[in-house]
Structure 1
Amino acid sequence: MNERLSPWRLGATLYMPATRTDIADAVLHNKIDGLRSLVICLEDAVSDADIPLARRNLRQVLTHLAAAKKLQGNVNWPLVFVRPRDITMGAELAADWDLSGVDGLVLPKFTRHCLPVWWAMLKDSHLCMMPTLETEEVFDVVQMRELAAALANHPCRQRIIALRIGGNDLMNVVSLRRSREFTLYDGPMGYVIKMLVSVFATRDFALTAPVCEHIDDRKIMDRELALDMLHGLVGKTAIHPSQIGIIEAALMVSASDHADALRILNSSQAVFKSQGAMCEPATHRRWASAILARAQVYGIVSEKNQDALRLMTALTKS
């Protein structure tokens, strides 16, 4: 997988309904500040009645993107994915539509049993995959272990940029909606995210965080993003452009973490003290590599901004 398709380059992945008429403009002319990746959605973001309109609009968008890519390539574009409504629509898109201008598909309601069907339609294409974990099976650790093992040993492995955690669909499975007062981690999804990280990250799969649907509540967003980073998630779904900058800021690396990561990867000592904490390269090397990869994309928070961030975090917890 080339550097452009690194999971660290997803950042805030903005979902845009396929009914929108400004998608090609947003991609080709960088109309949305900070946008690194977007998903053109034909599933939850589009009503049944609007599917014909969404399909017509998507075809026009794909035509524009394909033509532009032939002329200029897509080096400076955001990563672009299409999320079909279901497997049937996915098969149609892969077989009959010009997807040369997009990077991949987001696979809805992904399970181990549908893996062979998705792979059969995508294996001969250039398209990468972002399976979405959002069905009842996700709550079952045994089924998630079986899925992780199946993906780890499958030829599709090199095409998977990241696995997306579908928070709202998973909450719907247990008849809940996220609270306005608490983060997603304070309810059942706290268990689910921890379990998915334990099962998939141990096999080197990247995971992205669910959307925070409370767009205007900065306190909840900041607290949740801090927990996303604590769990090693590589990006977060966004549903509004105003969330992009907030997510990008959370993905920046602290100066102290960056310094520790450099020392860990360059030290010949088995154990050493750094900034009041023990560093052990044998056990911290993978963390350090991830920190440097993240810093290369998102940058480093200055000490002044880091102190302000600590204060803001303390205030949001009070």
Structure 2
Amino acid sequence: MQHFSYLTKDEKEEMFYHSPIEFSKHSPLEILAYSLGATLYMPGNRRQISDDLLSGKFIKGKHEGLTSIVLCLEDSIGDDELENAEWNIVHQLQRVHKAINAGVSMEQDLPMVFIRVRTPRQMFLIVERLGEAVELICGFVFPKFSPENGELYLTTLRDLNEREGVCLYGMPILESASVIYREQRDITLMNLKALLDKYHDLILNIRIGGTDFSGLFGLRRNRDTTIYDILVIRDCISDIINLFGRSESDYVISGPVWEYFNGSQRILKPQIRQTPFEQAFGRTGTKLRSQIINRDEDGLIREVLLDKSNGLVGKTIIHPSHIKIVQALNVITLEEHMDACSIMEHEVFTNGVIKSQFSNKMNEIKPHLNWARKILLKSKIYGVLKDGQSFIDLLGDKKEQDLFY
């Protein structure tokens, strides 16, 4: 896999100062944790899962650019459909596995596949039924992860890895009442941190269940509102980042899902400026901007930028139209890359302050060192844009400036 693999060689040379590296489910944990990008959720009872994966539409097609997918057996599946959905996932993945063995498709062309289970027992059932096709999955997603159920999820995962001789990762979702209710949150998060630290080598990503959190208060953000505008959710996200986002913790936290993909009448004015799109694509850029606004994706852009500002990497998505936006916004700008390189180069010899090569800011070596390390890691995975290029250039067929009014 490689982010933006659908671009031609000439397009990559035109856009990137450094192109993204290739990676696979066998890459080191540090690389994989940052590589998920836009993670598409798909109901486990969907009959077209194998067709979707084998058709190539996520590689170079209508929904190109996808690198991770979650097949869901939890909230998207009714209780009466659960067993059928379990078998459907097994049969769909076995079909993909047969196609790879027959040379019809290649494993490196598939996104990383995760399964969102309801119980630890379900993990054993699915792995047992998959047989050799288990090598297609990258891990499991643990919903409503808590100190009460977390230990069993993680011991089950470790047992499966040892028994099957595979490397499966876990992605806990923090979305339960005890995480967000103020009087329970601190002790719950501390207990979760202690638990996850014991299994740190198995944790690929910590995910935040913004929808479940909102539901506990009877709230739902609209298309003009980001998750950070919902005060109780923002407060909880802040505490999650405070504990799991510390440099010494080394956990990667992803952004909550954006729910909207088809627009309707707006109350507030659009949240993205017209000029950057015109500069990138001319009249075509104006049309692209209108399409983004009509699909309510200007709100998604704003929320992803806020995710990034708070140290979150990647995002849960529920519609393929969100793929390119999330991936493109994770690309590193040349200014960020050069600042990070300068900070790392001066780490040994300079403990003070140096001027940015762009002459617009001061870089403090010690305070910015951990930021620089993360930027250089993301530079490898998502690439570095050339000066004058922005994420907008990656959205069209063909700056991350001040987009907001």
Per the normalisation by structure 1, the TM-score is 0.90
Give the match for residue 211 of structure 1. 257
**C-alpha separation between the residues in 2 aligned to 1:174 and 1:91?**
34
Deviations 1:186-223 (CA, angstroms, capped at 9, x unpaired): 11221121211111011111111111101221221111
Give the match for residue 2 of structure 1. 27
The structure with more helix, counted as a fraction of residues: 1
Deviation at 1:288, TM superposition (A): 0.7
User: CA separation of 1:95/1:121 partners in 2, compared to 1, >3 Å: closer, same or farther?
Assistant: farther
Deviation at 1:61, TM superposition (A): 1.7
Give the match for residue 196 of structure 2. 151
Which AA in structure 2 matches 1:225?
Answer: V
Deviation at 1:50, TM superposition (A): 2.8
**C-alpha separation between the residues in 1 aligned to 2:84 and 2:102?**
28
8 A Cα contact 2:170 2:202, kept in partner: yes
Which AA in structure 1 matches 2:28?
Answer: E
User: CA separation of 1:207/1:185 partners in 2, compared to 1, >3 Å: closer, same or farther?
Assistant: same
Residue 138 of structure 1 pairs with residue 179 of structure 2: yes
For 1:181-260, list aligned pairs within 5 A.
Answer: 181-187=224-230, 188-202=232-246, 203-215=249-261, 216-260=295-339
Give the match for residue 158 of structure 2. 123
**C-alpha separation between the residues in 2 aligned to 1:45 and 1:180?**
22
Give SS of 1:198's match: helix
**C-alpha separation between the residues in 1 aligned to 2:126 and 2:117?**
8
Larger relative contact order (CA 8 Å, sep ≥ 6): 2
- Which among 44, 55, 58 is matched to residue 89 of structure 2? 58
8 A Cα contact 2:41 2:317, kept in partner: yes
**C-alpha separation between the residues in 1 aligned to 2:84 and 2:128?**
20
Give SS of 1:100's match: helix
In structure 2, the gaps of 5 or more residues are: 1-25, 59-63, 162-166, 262-294, 393-398
**C-alpha separation between the residues in 1 aligned to 2:128 and 2:216?**
32
8 A Cα contact 1:39 1:80, kept in partner: yes
User: CA separation of 1:248/1:134 partners in 2, compared to 1, >3 Å: closer, same or farther?
Assistant: same
Give the match for residue 103 of structure 1. 138
Which AA in structure 2 matches 1:272?
Answer: I
8 A Cα contact 2:120 2:156, kept in partner: no
- Which among 261, 267, 291 is matched to residue 340 of structure 2? 261
Give the match for residue 75 of structure 2. 44
- Which among 113, 133, 137 is matched to residue 80 of structure 1? 113
Deviations 1:109-148 (CA, angstroms, capped at 9, x unpaired): 1112222211232213231101111101212123112211
8 A Cα contact 2:154 2:170, kept in partner: no
8 A Cα contact 2:168 2:202, kept in partner: yes
- Which among 12, 25, 40 is matched to residue 51 of structure 2? 25
**C-alpha separation between the residues in 2 aligned to 1:184 and 1:240?**
18
**C-alpha separation between the residues in 2 aligned to 1:120 and 1:71?**
35
Deviation at 1:303, TM superposition (A): 3.5
Aligned residues: 312
**C-alpha separation between the residues in 2 aligned to 1:283 and 1:69?**
48
Give SS of 1:272's match: strand
Deviation at 1:71, TM superposition (A): 6.7
Deviation at 1:28, TM superposition (A): 4.0
Give SS of 2:140's match: strand
Rg larger in structure = 2
Which AA in structure 1 matches 2:172?
Answer: P
Residue 310 of structure 1 pairs with residue 392 of structure 2: no
RMSD: 2.2
Deviations 1:22-48 (CA, angstroms, capped at 9, x unpaired): 222333453221010000111112223
**C-alpha separation between the residues in 2 aligned to 1:262 and 1:230?**
20
How many percent identity over aligned positions? 32
Deviation at 1:227, TM superposition (A): 0.2
**C-alpha separation between the residues in 2 aligned to 1:255 and 1:7?**
23
Give the match for residue 375 of structure 2. 291
